[in-house]
Amino acid sequence: MHQQPDQIDRIVALWNEVRPDLDPSSTHVIGRIVRMEYFITRRVLQDLARFNLNVGEFDVLAALRRRGEPYQLSPNQLQSMVLISSGALTNRINRLEEAGLVTRSPDPEDRRGVIVTLSAKGFSVIEEAVVNHLSAEAELMENLDEAEKIQLASLLKKLLQTQED
């Protein structure tokens, strides 16, 4: 099946014209990853706006929900699951607490620590938000068959693992 040239093909072609001494071939992959990231972010932000959440807040609620009952984690555990600084996490927890989506309580095992718990309202919000989120992800991937999705996931994982090590 022949595919029409896209914006990335045109960018690479122009680089080849004006700088034939360069090899812009990696732009075929990186450019498309960056372009897809734009569309993914736009779609995710639209979906999360319905719940008055941003991506970071969704990540915290989702981490608590994935944990299973009693849906609670220490800030250190949350930080490792959402990969952000402690200051950024504190801001997210503050906003979620103000919205009534999480609660903070003293950590019974560490007098200096706290435990963040998903509230009933937070549970209700994340239950609906995650369904929308996964549906949006599926829509973004609907042009790929199952084998292509597996292949793409494997290749992206390989690229990520070399950067994360």
Q: How many CA atoms lie within 13 A of 73 on its CB side?
A: 19
Tokens representing 52 are 């008055």
Tokens representing 124 are 């209700």
Q: ∠ at Cα 19 (15, 21), nearest 5°?
A: 120
CA 78/CA 57 separation, integer angstroms: 12
pLDDT band at residue 87, thresholds of 50, 70 and 90? confident
CA 26/CA 37 separation, integer angstroms: 16
Average pLDDT over residues 116-121: 98
**Residues written for the chain:** 165
* 26 has a pLDDT exceeding 80: yes
Q: What is the DSSP letter of 6?
A: -
Q: Write down the H helix ranges in 50-119.
A: 55-67, 75-82, 86-98
* 29 has a pLDDT exceeding 90: yes
Domains and CATH numbers, the chain: 1-49 (no CATH), 54-134 (1.10.10.10)
CA 85/CA 105 separation, integer angstroms: 21
- In this prediction the pTM is 0.83
SS3 118: strand
Average pLDDT over residues 130-148: 95
